[in-house]
């Protein structure tokens, strides 16, 4: 590194060392400006929404947003463009990206008992933003590559390689440390108690996380995880509550919370497609296709696919956006740089128009071989793409071709009419246990899952009039 670069690096380090985070009171490394931080969130938000989708319930969205906004206004960074959204994902999760963009899944909402628990988790995610945990990681990464960063400043010729910030979903790949998670827990407690929520709710959250994550023996070791074990987070929270002399009591909001999640979709939503063994069925799009036997399958909002057992082959289905016709889309695919296509052939019948061709594609890691098909159906164009490393393609070619040929209209009335399971909040007509209630009014989930959803033991007798969550719906056809 040149003397000029070393001087600039020292200057950057000096400025960063003087930065004091208002939420934590700690000096921290920060090479990212406030405007850059906000832009990262604004870049990521539409991609997150497109990838995961939002729960279609304006009342629930407004409810969560209002709680989040109140938390943000008692934080140390109230002037950020805060946004709180419920994403349509069945996984138990919540996350935040820089700039004040916070997301919580419908999956975790099913397991909360009250508004105070929701506020605690939203406060935790707010704490990640106010403490600038993602920004700190980006700054550390850039410091490690400071030679390149300084080179970009000093020499326009290498500027294209020295951008400080990633964009879009890349920010979701940043992992918090266990220290960051503990700090966010502390900040979450701070913000929720400033709004006079019951601090004991945070303990309930960690107990719930321990239940849904399984026994400690079945998890990865804590030192390999970015999150401390829920039991250890609970113990730390109890210590914090005792140290701060925070008494039990305060706002809980159980009835208001249950009112807002009554009717919420529970688990995977089959209207967005589901697998029945190797068959993929999509009721909304009225299509089906069969993936290779023994391959690992995955259904996401914008792509569904399967990966070979040895992980060197893949086949996937996507909507080909902006495609004028199947043939035009295929020719456009084959015309890409580095792609060499074979003979195009047409097949399909009735409502399905299909064009397909083999191809080879040159990449930085070697050559891929595969087959691409574009299918016209019900006013849309779909792309089915299968490929593998060239040396392995011969063993997968028939399986991929079979998957492409299996695309057909979905006609089974039972599948076309399938509906998701939902949360149904009811009052117990008399004193009874969940075991007794489930025997009288069985649903699609077992009593152990009902106990986790309601945070009680299966045999515990609950008083008459107690509101409980049950799941209603029919088994998938």
Which pLDDT does position 33 carry in this prediction? 81
Which pLDDT does position 220 carry in this prediction? 38
Which pLDDT does position 27 carry in this prediction? 67
Nearest-10 crossing angle of helices 133-144, 115-130: 30
Q: Which residues contact 194 (CB under 8 A, 6 or more apart)?
A: 74
Query: DSSP character for 34?
Result: H
Compute and round to an integer the Cα radius of gyration of the chain: 26
Which pLDDT does position 12 carry in this prediction? 39
Counting every residue, how long is the chain? 477
Say if CB 110 and CB 266 are below 8 A apart. Answer: yes
Show the CA angle centred on residue 83, arms to residues 77 and 85, nearest 5°.
140
Query: DSSP character for 412?
Result: -
Rounded CA-CA distance 428/463 in Å is 8
Query: DSSP character for 90?
Result: -
Rounded CA-CA distance 447/424 in Å is 15
Please list, residue by residue across 181-198, b when 16 or more beta carbons sit within 10 angstroms of its beta carbon and e when fewer do.
Answer: bbbbbbbbbbbbbebebb
Taken in order of first residue, the domains within the chain and their CATH numbers are 3-252 (no CATH), 262-266+420-472 (no CATH), 270-416 (3.40.1000.10)
- Which backbone phi and psi does 82 adopt, to 5 degrees? -60, 140
Q: Which residues contact 307 (CB under 8 A, 6 or more apart)?
A: 295, 296, 298, 313, 314
Say if CB 153 and CB 164 are below 8 A apart. Answer: no
* The two three-digit tokens of residue 14, written as one number: 């000096």
Q: Give the pairing of strands 101-105 and 83-87.
A: parallel
* The two three-digit tokens of residue 181, written as one number: 């998670």
- Which backbone phi and psi does 38 adopt, to 5 degrees? -65, -40
Nearest-10 crossing angle of helices 200-212, 178-194: 140
* The two three-digit tokens of residue 350, written as one number: 């009735």
Q: Which residue has the tokens 């996937």?
A: 316
Nearest-10 crossing angle of helices 58-73, 254-261: 140
Q: Give the pairing of strands 101-105 and 265-266.
A: unpaired
Q: Residue 54's beta-bridge partner residues?
A: 87
Rounded CA-CA distance 67/63 in Å is 6
Q: Residue 341's beta-bridge partner residues?
A: 359
Q: Tens digit of pLDDT per residue, the chain (477 long)?
A: 443 434 334 433 444 444 677 777 676 666 678 898 899 899 999 999 988 999 999 999 999 999 999 999 999 999 999 999 999 999 999 999 899 999 999 999 999 999 999 999 999 999 999 998 776 676 555 444 433 333 223 223 222 222 322 334 445 445 567 788 889 999 999 999 999 999 999 999 999 999 988 644 443 343 334 567 889 999 999 999 999 999 888 999 999 999 999 999 999 999 999 999 999 999 999 999 999 999 999 998 889 999 999 999 999 999 998 899 999 999 999 999 999 999 999 998 889 999 999 999 988 878 999 999 999 999 999 999 999 999 999 999 999 999 999 999 999 999 999 999 999 999 999 999 999 999 999 999 999 999 999 999 999 999 999 999 999 999 999
């Amino acid at each position: 590194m040149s003397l000029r670069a070393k001087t600039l690096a020292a200057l950057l380090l000096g400025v960063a060392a003087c930065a004091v985070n208002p939420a934590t009171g700690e000096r921290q490394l920060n090479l990212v400006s406030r405007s850059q931080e906000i832009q990262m969130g604004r870049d990521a938000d539409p991609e997150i929404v497109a990838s995961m989708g939002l729960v279609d319930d304006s009342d629930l969205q407004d409810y969560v947003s209002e709680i989040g906004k109140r938390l943000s206004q008692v934080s140390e960074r109230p002037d950020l463009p805060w946004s709180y959204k419920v994403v349509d994902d069945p996984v138990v999760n919540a996350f935040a990206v820089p700039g004040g963009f916070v997301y919580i899944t419908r999956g975790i909402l099913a397991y909360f008992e009250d508004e105070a628990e929701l506020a605690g988790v939203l406060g935790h995610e707010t704490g990640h933003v106010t403490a600038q945990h993602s920004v700190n990681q980006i700054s550390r990464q850039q410091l490690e590559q400071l030679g390149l960063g300084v080179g970009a400043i000093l020499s326009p010729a290498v500027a294209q390689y020295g951008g400080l910030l990633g964009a879009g979903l890349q920010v979701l790949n940043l992992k918090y440390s266990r220290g960051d998670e503990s700090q966010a827990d502390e900040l979450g407690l701070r913000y929720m108690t400033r709004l006079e929520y019951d601090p004991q709710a945070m303990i309930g959250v960690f107990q719930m996380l321990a239940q849904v994550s399984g026994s400690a023996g079945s998890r990865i070791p804590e030192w390999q995880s970015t999150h401390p074990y829920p039991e250890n987070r609970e113990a730390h929270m109890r210590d914090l509550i005792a140290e701060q002399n925070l008494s039990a009591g305060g706002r809980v909001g159980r009835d208001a919370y249950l009112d807002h999640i009554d009717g919420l979709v529970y688990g995977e939503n089959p209207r967005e497609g589901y697998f029945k063994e190797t068959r993929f069925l999509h009721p909304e799009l009225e299509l089906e296709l069969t993936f290779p036997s023994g391959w690992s399958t995955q259904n996401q909002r914008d792509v569904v696919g399967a990966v070979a057992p040895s992980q060197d082959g893949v086949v996937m289905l996507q909507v080909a956006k902006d495609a004028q016709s199947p043939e035009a889309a295929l020719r456009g695919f084959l015309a890409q740089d580095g792609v060499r296509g074979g003979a195009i052939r047409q097949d399909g019948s009735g409502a399905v128009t299909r064009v397909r061709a083999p191809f080879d594609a040159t990449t930085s890691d070697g050559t891929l071989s595969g087959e691409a098909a574009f299918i016209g159906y019900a006013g849309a164009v779909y792309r089915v793409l299968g490929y593998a490393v060239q040396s392995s393609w011969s063993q997968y070619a028939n399986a991929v071709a079979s998957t492409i040929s299996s695309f057909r209209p979905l006609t089974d009335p039972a599948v076309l009419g399938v509906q998701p399971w939902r949360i149904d909040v009811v009052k117990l007509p008399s004193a009874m246990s969940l075991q007794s209630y489930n025997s009288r009014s069985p649903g699609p989930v077992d009593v152990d899952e009902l106990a986790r959803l309601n945070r009680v033991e299966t045999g515990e007798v609950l008083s008459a009039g107690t509101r409980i969550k049950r799941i209603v719906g029919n088994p998938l056809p």
